[in-house]
Amino acid sequence: MTCVSLVMPIIAYTLSNQYGRVFMSGEQFWVTVAIFTLGVMLIGGGYSRSETRSGVALMWGGALCMIALVFYYIPQNLAL
């Protein structure tokens, strides 16, 4: 399974609601993709240096990028 086959359903779900209508603007979509990509790169870079303190900090930074996306979109989509 490639990374694209794992990410595309997530992107498709993010772009449409239960009725299939698009609700994410283009600018917001690309900012989300950029933050997600930054998080993946930080986790990967941190994992390659996991023996050092800076590697652990990079992994935490990547995890925080991912958590930030979750905590931004869930309340927004649930209208909280």
Q: CA 52, CA 45: separation in Å to the nearest integer?
A: 11
- Check: CB of residue 44 under 8 Å from CB of residue 61: no
Q: CA 43, CA 23: separation in Å to the nearest integer?
A: 29
**What does the pLDDT read at residue 13?**
61
- Residue 62 clears pLDDT 90, i.e. is over it: yes
Question: pLDDT tens across 8-58, in order?
Answer: 666 656 555 555 555 666 778 888 899 999 999 999 999 999 899 999 999
**What does the pLDDT read at residue 77?**
73
Domain ranges of the chain: 25-80
- Of 48, 41, 34, the residue nearest 62 (C-alpha): 41
| pTM to 2 decimal places | 0.65
**What does the pLDDT read at residue 59?**
95
Strand partners, 22: 16
